[in-house]
Structure 1
Amino acid sequence: MRAQVVNRQSLSGLAATLVGNGIGRFAYIALIPALIQQQWFSEAQASYLGVATLLGYIFGAPAANALVKYFERGNLVRWAMIACTLSYLCCAWQHGPLWWFYGWRTLAGVAGAMLMVLAPPMIVRLHQPQLKARVSGVVFAGIGMGAMLSGTLIPLLLLLSLPSAWLGMGAISLVATVLSWPMWRSDPNGSTMAATAGLRDLSQGQWVTLSLILFAYSFNAIGYLPHTLFWVDFVVRELQMSQFHGGFFWAMFGLGAAIGPLITGQLGDRLGVKRALVMAFTLKAFGVALPLISTSSGSLLLSSILVGAFTPGTVTLVSTYTLECVGLARHTKAWSMMTLAFALAQGVVGYVMAYWADGLSSYQPLFMVSAAALGLSIIAILATQTQPQPLAVNH
């Protein structure tokens, strides 16, 4: 492949992979009101099942680092995609015990984290440095497509039955798996360098910047939790809107998530990654805080799109900024550390929020906490100083 050309085949394969990942992670959110209303689970059980996916994310990043020493990356990506698909198909068993659902939702989180750690660096490595933010944008847009599909299709599938919704999402994930399967061939010439390069020889300035990015990314995980755990339930049960309204606003979240990484990728290449990241965190914080100001349909729509756009959009920029800080050879190791920190923050705080929400009469305090967390992310990025590291490109 010529260095100045975007590898469209690799990007389309990765986008299909992350569509399946987006469904595996986010479609459950659109199911929560129906699961409670049709008495599959209590309100607390439904919330904790959402957290189970986040907790699984904690184990996925170290699992990817451990398994990559013994198995080819392409095969690990394939196995993770299969796990995401099975997690939905197996949850269609209406009378299954609670531990069955906890197990499959946790596995979905583990598989999702493995995909996030392993897949993007394999693709970014194939492109020249001038395209790194744009390529990362295409990479993470697939997650938003998965969320958008879930928000659009789940209300329709629920007209049939809840098991049909589970099976429908599993079927879409299966199609994404099949479409992207040939792309994940073994990569003997390019996989080991990024997998084995450590971080011990980073300069003090690099360590400071990497720590600040890690801090910002961890608080970013807290910032998106109310929307990705309770947004549909907030719209349907707290605001007394219909399931279709909940599905519509979740689909708008997904639409934002599909276009957001493309926008932030362009901004990162044109304005610089740091400026683009500060802008993204600021707009995301505004979107999270909007329900505190107004719950009109217009405000809910804008909040859905903004938070949706800058959820994977900030991931795009953080991945690129980490790459600028540590260089290509250490990117996988550093990105794995970022993913683990993100997973710990969202898992622990997500559990606390689920426990807290069970005793609240409104989700509003959760939006307040998350908006404040994103404010801390903005401060951390403003404090960073980094010089782009030289990046080699595989031809």
Structure 2
Amino acid sequence: MNIASPLRLAIAGMIALAVAMGIGRFIYTPILPGMMEELGLSPADAGWIASANYFGYLVGALAATGGWAQGRERQLMLAGLAATAILAGLMGLTGTMAAFLLIRLLAGLASAFVLVFMTSIVFGHLAAAGRNDLQALYFGGVGLGIAASSALLALLVTEHAGWAAGWLWSAAISACGFAAVALLAGGTSTASSVAGPEPALPKNPSLVKVIVAYGLFGFGYIVTATFLVAIVRQGGGGRIFEAVVWMVTGLAGFPSVWLWQKLAARVGLYATYALGCLVEVVGVSASVVMDGRTGPLLGGLLVGGTFIAITALGLQAGRQLAPQAPRRMLAVMTAAFGLGQIIGPIVAGLLAQASGDFFLASIVAAAVLLASGAIVWSAAPKSP
């Protein structure tokens, strides 16, 4: 069987996350304002469509905990990538609320499969090869996908293309990404040190805290990650500026895991997670508090520069606390994360519809992020 080298596998994983997460999930953010204008969608409608995607993500994460996936991780990951491309194309070929809800739900399930199974494959092989430093390259794929999607939307803006073109072109890019991952990953499958089905998660209060905090983080970050471009559109920033803000978000995300990992090596994993949440609070608040273009740009920079890294730090903390059940831990934490993401856009959309803007929704998100950081800080191992 053709087993990829650690670097090649990390690059394959980076592309997989760029497709499934950076494009498959987050392309909705820059396309959303056009959908709201051309189709007459309300903020609440937009929130329900986003939450359908995150509900699918939750279902996919829970399904991934089962023993049925043992030994099939590579095939399921590739199936998720293929589905991501197909479903993106279908979004551009329909215009009804019911279809949007169903398609985005299935896309969420596909993205969860890619994340859970590709992470299981990549982390296992990198650990076995002593190349955990390449995890930062892997997670950088989310930022890479966001930056690619913003560049795509900027090009489509110059051509005065409608919202559907964004989905159709993202489908084409995703199909190319699928082919690249299949080629680079070769026949690489999981390299778990656990024989047979994984054991149950340990009954550890710190693990419970980390899982709860991870769910709160899912709620807190997703409000801005979903509605940031809509916030720019509401402020009259213009479509080119919308693409610039989303580009800044993606470019800030690409090196973020590497930078925050450096900090974690110096001050500890839990303290770095808490500090990342605090920085993100500033970004979420700035996007609606600061006037003009400064607020959205600062929001994109700080949210993009933290949310991928905090996601990785949370998973690493969970892996440390449940080393004998890495895939089960990953799936449970992804499920908690997904639950937070389901609730976040619904609450934000309803608050925005009631208040007329995204100020209150963003402040609520900032408060939840503070709580997430505080809980993880409290979960840190105490010195003897």
Task: Give the TM-score of the pair, scaled to structure 1.
Answer: 0.88
SS in 2 for 1:374: helix
Kept in 1, the 8 Å contact 2:125–2:190? The answer is no
Distance 1:196 1:266, change over 3 A: farther
Displacement of 1:373 in angstroms is 0.7
1:117-136 equivalences in 2 (<5 Å): 117-128=116-127, 134-136=133-135
Displacement of 1:295 in angstroms is 2.5
The equivalent residue for 1:172 is: 173
Displacement of 1:283 in angstroms is 1.0
309, 312, 328: which one aligns with 1:313: 309
SS in 2 for 1:193: coil
Question: What CA deviation, in whole Å up to 9, does each residue of 1:98-134 have, x standing for no partner?
Answer: 3222211111111111112111121112234896763
Kindly provide the amino acid, as one letter, of the partner of residue 369 in structure 2: L
Kept in 1, the 8 Å contact 2:283–2:303? The answer is yes
Kindly provide the amino acid, as one letter, of the partner of residue 87 in structure 1: L
Distance 1:127 1:306, change over 3 A: same
Kindly provide the amino acid, as one letter, of the partner of residue 208 in structure 1: P
Kindly provide the amino acid, as one letter, of the partner of residue 157 in structure 1: L
Note if 1:52 corresponds to 2:52.
yes
1:61-72 equivalences in 2 (<5 Å): 61-66=61-66, 68-69=68-69, 72=72
Question: What CA deviation, in whole Å up to 9, does each residue of 1:4-30 have, x standing for no partner?
Answer: xx8110001001111101100001110
1:1-395 equivalences in 2 (<5 Å): 7-21=6-20, 22-39=22-39, 41-66=41-66, 68-69=68-69, 72-94=72-94, 96-128=95-127, 134-158=133-157, 159-186=160-187, 190-191=191-192, 193=194, 196-200=197-201, 202=202, 207-237=204-234, 239-327=235-323, 329-386=324-381
Kept in 2, the 8 Å contact 1:324–1:386? The answer is no
CA distance in 2, matches of 1:354, 1:264: 31
Displacement of 1:161 in angstroms is 3.2
Displacement of 1:188 in angstroms is 6.3
Question: What CA deviation, in whole Å up to 9, does each residue of 1:235-293 have, x standing for no partner?
Answer: 112x1110111111111111122221221233233433222212211211121122354
CA distance in 1, matches of 2:84, 2:189: 26
Kept in 1, the 8 Å contact 2:80–2:110? The answer is yes
Kindly provide the amino acid, as one letter, of the partner of residue 104 in structure 1: I
CA distance in 1, matches of 2:176, 2:227: 28
CA distance in 1, matches of 2:275, 2:196: 31
Displacement of 1:192 in angstroms is 8.0
Kept in 2, the 8 Å contact 1:147–1:250? The answer is yes
Displacement of 1:71 in angstroms is 6.0
Report % sequence identity. 21
Distance 1:210 1:70, change over 3 A: closer
Kindly provide the amino acid, as one letter, of the partner of residue 302 in structure 1: L
* Structure 1 spans left out of the alignment, 5+ residues: 1-5, 388-395
Kindly provide the amino acid, as one letter, of the partner of residue 236 in structure 2: Q
Question: What CA deviation, in whole Å up to 9, does each residue of 1:184-226 have, x standing for no partner?
Answer: 45556725838722235x3x5xx11101111211111111122
Question: What CA deviation, in whole Å up to 9, does each residue of 1:128-168 have, x standing for no partner?
Answer: 48967633322211011111111221132242333322111
* Structure 2 spans left out of the alignment, 5+ residues: none
Question: What CA deviation, in whole Å up to 9, does each residue of 1:348-385 have, x standing for no partner?
Answer: 23222223322221210011111111111121111113
Displacement of 1:67 in angstroms is 7.1
SS in 2 for 1:87: helix
Q: CA RMSD in A?
A: 2.5
Displacement of 1:57 in angstroms is 1.1
Kept in 1, the 8 Å contact 2:287–2:296? The answer is yes
Displacement of 1:70 in angstroms is 6.3
SS in 2 for 1:383: helix
Kept in 1, the 8 Å contact 2:199–2:325? The answer is yes
Question: What CA deviation, in whole Å up to 9, does each residue of 1:299-346 have, x standing for no partner?
Answer: 32121111112111101111111122222x311111111000111111
Kindly provide the amino acid, as one letter, of the partner of residue 118 in structure 2: A
